[in-house]
Amino acid sequence: MTQLTTASGIPVDDNQNSITAGPRGPVLLQDFHLIEKLQHFNRERIPERVVHAKGSGAYGTFTVTHDVSKYTKAALFSGIGKQTETFLRFSTVGGEKGSADTARDPRGFAVRFYTEEGNWDLVGNNTPTFFLKDGIKFPDFIHTQKRDPLTNLKSAQNVWDFWSRAPESLHQVTILFSDRGIPDGYRHMDGFGSHTYSLINDAGERVWVKWHFKTLQGIKNLSASEAQRLAGVDPDYAQRDLFHAIAQGDFPRWSVEIQVMDDAQRAAWEAKTGWDAFDLTKVWPQGEFPRTPVGILELNRNPDNYHADVEQAALSPSNIVPGLGYSPDKMLQARLFAYHDAQLYRVGTNHQHLPVNRPRCPFHNQQRDGAMAVANGGAAANYDPVHADVPAQGGFGHGDAGWPVEGNAGRYDTRAVDDHFTQAGDLFRLLSDDGKRNLIENIAGSLSGADAVIQDRQIGHFLKADPAYGQGVAEAVRKLQNQA
C-alpha cells in the first residue's frame, strides 16, 4: 500500500484520529497534519472563469494533410504528415462551473497547438459569428446572460432587452435558437476560429483567414425537450460523453480547414456587399470563399487530472506564432487583452509555468519571481540588454509588415448604417419548414418572458430579416401568452 505522507513528504502516522489531550479532547495545535489538511481544503477553489466556466478538455494531435506553405511560414504547417501536440477545451458560456452541459448556449471550442515556435491558441466557438462587433459591449452582454443582481435568477427580460437594442446580435441569435443551438455533446459539433485572422508567408505576404473545424463524427443536436430532460438526469452529459469516448479509444476528429481572402479580394467583397470582412457578426460566403483543407485534429488522451489540466488551462487569443497574425476586428482586439489579464487573476502570475500551459519548446524571457515561480530561469540573465545599434523594424515583427490604417482616431458607431439583417434572413430562408418552426418556437418560448415593449422591438428586427420570420415569432409569442 502507498504510504500516506504530508505535502512535505513526511509519513503520516494516523489519518483517522486527531491528536487530543486525553481521549475526549480538546484537539492540540501541534497536530500539524490535521491543520495542513484543513488549511489546504479551505484553499481548494480558484475563481471559475468569468465566462465559459463549465467545460471539458482533452489532449490530442494535429496532423498536416495539405500544404499551406504558400500562405503561412508557421513551422507547424511545414510538411505533410507533421504532427503537433494539442489541447482542446470545450465549454458552455453563461452557466457556472456546476451548470448543465445541455443549455441552449454557444459552445466554446478553444484549441492550443504546442508548436516548436511556442503555443498557438485559437479560442473560438461552435459558431462562425458572435453577438457583438465591439468588445466594449462584452461585459454588459455577459451580465444579461448571467444572474440578475436583485433576484439572482437568469432573466429573459435582461437578455432580450440587450439583444433587442443590439441588432448586430440577430445573426447569432438565429443560430442559437435554431436546431443547432444545443449540440449533442462536444464531439458532434463543428468549431470555428470565428474571427478573421492573418496568415503570413515567407515573403511577408498576408492573407486574411477564417478557421473551420468540421466534425468527422457527424453533426448531432438535441431537441429542446431532450436537452431539458438531460439537464435534470445528467447535467454532465457532454463531459461524460467526451471522457468515455476517449477512454474507450473512440477518438473524436475534426477536419481543420481555412477560408482565405487576400486584401484585394477583401476590398472587392466589401465594396460589393457593403459588409466588413472583419465584422464578427458576418460570415464569408463559402460559395465565393471555399474551404481549403489543412489537417486533422484528433483528441486521444484524457487529462490525468481535471483541475490541473482543464481548470488551470489558460488559453488566450493573443498567443500566436510567427506566420500567423491578428486582424483589425474590434472584438478580437479586446480579447487580445482580456484573457491573459483574467488568467493573472484566476490562476496566478506564473500561470504559464503550469504543465498544461508551459510551451513544449524551450523558452527564455526575463520575467522572474512572483508566486509559484517553478520555471524561473535558473542562472540565466533576468534582463535584456539594450542594443542601441540594432535598428527597430517596422510592422509587428517576424516578417509581418503590419496592415495599413486610415481615418482619425476616435469612437465610431456604424450600427445605424450597418446591415444586421441580410445574413440572418439568409440563414432563416435556408432552413427547412421544420427548422423554421423549431426556431420560431424556441425564440417565442424565451422572448415571451420579456415585456411587451422589448418583444415588439425584437420582432421588428426579425421582420427586417424576413417578414415570415417576424410574423412567425409574433404569432408564436401571442399564442403562448394567450395560453398563460
For ligand HEM, the binding residues (CB under 6 A) are 49-52, 55, 89, 91, 108, 110, 123-125, 130, 135, 138, 194, 313-315, 331, 334-335, 338-339, 342-343, 346
As given in the structure block, the three cell numbers for residue 47 are 475563481
Say whether 17 is catalytic: no
* DSSP track, 249-275: T---EEEEEEEEE-HHHHHHHHHHH--
- N residues, the chain: 484
Cβ-based nearer residue to ligand HEM, 126 or 158: 126
**Nearer to ligand HEM (CB atom), residue 420 or residue 464:** 420
CA-nearest of 288, 284, 130, 127 to 210 is: 284
- What's the closest the beta carbon of residue 347 comes to ligand HEM, in angstroms? 7
The single residue of 52, 195, 212, 351 carrying the catalytic annotation is 52
The DSSP secondary-structure symbol of 293 reads E
**Cell numbers describing residue 454:** 422589448
Measured from the CB atom, the residue of 113 and 469 that comes closer to ligand HEM is: 113
Least separation, in Å, of the C-beta of 4 and ligand HEM? 33
What nine digits make up the cell of 279?
Answer: 465584422
Degrees, nearest 5: CA angle 176-226-89:
55
In the structure grid, which three cell numbers stand for residue 43, read together? 484553499
Pick the closer one to ligand HEM by CB: 139 or 274.
Answer: 139
- The secondary structure of residue 26, as a DSSP letter, is P
The cell numbers describing 409, all together, are 482616431
Q: Which three cell numbers stand for residue 445?
A: 418560448
Residue carrying C-alpha cell 471559475:
48
Contacts (Cβ under 8 Å, ≥6 apart) of 353: 372, 373, 374, 375
Cα 456 to Cα 478: distance, rounded to the nearest angstrom: 11
What are phi and psi for residue 465, nearest 5 degrees? -70, -45
Burial grade of 41 (CB within 10 A; 0-12, 13-18, 19 or more): exposed
Count of CB atoms situated within 10 Å of the CB of 303: 21
- Say whether 125 is catalytic: yes
DSSP letters, 444-483, are HHHHTTS-HHHHHHHHHHHHHH-HHHHHHHHHHHHHHHHH
Report the residue number, 261 or 314, with the smaller CB distance to ligand HEM: 314
The helix (H) or strand (E) run that includes residue 163 is helix 156-165
In DSSP notation, 298-332 reads: EEEE--S-HIIIIIS----TT---TTEE----HHH
> Which listed residue (125, 302, 319, 442) is catalytic?
125
**Cα 477 from Cα 471, distance rounded (Å):** 10
Q: Which is nearer to ligand HEM, 319 or 343 (CB)?
A: 343
**Grid coordinates of 183:** 449540440
Judged by DSSP in three states, 391 sits in coil
- What does DSSP say about strands 83-92 and 107-115: parallel, antiparallel, or unpaired? antiparallel
Q: Indicate which residues carry an active-site annotation.
A: 52, 125
